[in-house]
Amino acid sequence: MGVEICVEGLTKSFGHQVIWQDVSLTLPAGEVSVMLGPSGTGKSVFLKTLVGLLKPERGSITIQGRDITRLREHDLYEVRKLFGVLFQDGALFGSMNLYDNIAFPLREHTRKSESEIRRIVLEKMDMVGLIGAEGKLPGEISGGMRKRAGLARALVLDPEIILFDEPDSGLDPVRVAYLNQLIVDLNAQIDATFLIVTHDIASARQVPDNIGLLFRRELVMFGPREELLTSDEPVVRQFLNGRMQGPIGMAEEKDAAQVEQELAALGDGDRTQSPGSQAMTPRLLPGPGIPRPPRWEAIARREAELRHRKVVADA
């Protein structure tokens, strides 16, 4: 079962450069959350701060009643055992085959026998669809397989929190679709708390329970998926629709007058149309034979109620 992560007033800087400030959110236990934002907004920095690799200037990160920003290194090491991390490139050792890569955390951090390690490694490889590839080196397989191997390695210590740093980077759209389905299936099976940093709009629309957006050094919004997908917030609508018109520019923020002019140029159709009328992408469901988590019924009701409210408001 996953654990809740409560972030309050978090601020991170490098020298005089503020990356983001006063970030507050709660990642619900067992749910999938996605963090979005333009390039350079500090999404990966946020992941590293959550796991205690970077220290914030202010704020708290509370996990199981402990503020990890104030823990000594020994205690922080214990909390880190709750985490599994999938890095952008899989972070595999090039000289080790996939089996030894995935077994590495078990050999490094546990005293399990080789027979027990073999059972766990093959179980996780089966979960991500890599049975039969145990002897292959990272350089002999595709980028998608390397991602899955990295995910299997992140799973071997049975973490209660899994962080994904741009898992779709470098993958073609078909492999991204397979990876998204794998993430949904895994969450339904192991019920850990997932946080995914991504730029992929399709993934953000289909996969998570919750979505957050970082922009202009702050958290613009964080909440249930359906609230973000139907939001009137200009930067949220711009990002989730992948369009040029809005506050996000190519190299820097646009001034308010330019943003207002661009949004006006979109026409009355965009401004009068209910944000939810076209934006509510169906969720990905767990694959055949994988039961849906109990929370999904409540989420489905919530989404239906929101759509109904939008229809009534626009009538």
Looking at residue 256, its pLDDT comes to 56
Looking at residue 57, its pLDDT comes to 96
Domains within the chain, CATH numbers bracketed: 5-82+159-224 (3.40.50.300)
pTM: 0.87
Looking at residue 171, its pLDDT comes to 86
What are the strands of the beta sheet with 83-86, ordered from one edge?
83-86, 161-165, 193-197, 32-36, 210-215, 218-224
Per-residue pLDDT of the chain (315 residues; tens, 9 = 90+): 689 999 999 999 999 999 999 999 999 999 999 999 888 889 999 999 999 999 999 999 999 999 999 999 999 988 999 999 998 766 899 999 999 999 999 999 999 999 999 999 999 999 999 999 999 999 999 888 999 999 999 999 999 999 999 998 888 899 899 999 999 999 999 989 999 999 889 999 999 999 999 999 999 999 999 999 989 999 999 999 888 888 888 765 555 555 566 556 655 445 434 444 444 778 898 999 888 878 877 777 877 777 777 677 766
Show Cβ contacts of residue 203 under 8 Å, excluding neighbours closer than 6 positions.
34, 168, 176, 180, 196
Looking at residue 251, its pLDDT comes to 60
Looking at residue 192, its pLDDT comes to 94
- Residues 85, 83: Cα–Cα separation, whole Å: 6
Which stretches of 2-97 are assigned E, i.e. beta strand? 5-14, 17-27, 32-36, 58-63, 66-67, 83-86
Mind spelling out the 3-state secondary structure of 121-155?
A: HHHHHHHCCCCCCCCCCHHHCCHHHHHHHHHHHHH
Task: With CA atoms as reference, report the closest residue to 248 among 208, 280, 205, 201.
Answer: 201
Looking at residue 254, its pLDDT comes to 55
Looking at residue 262, its pLDDT comes to 57
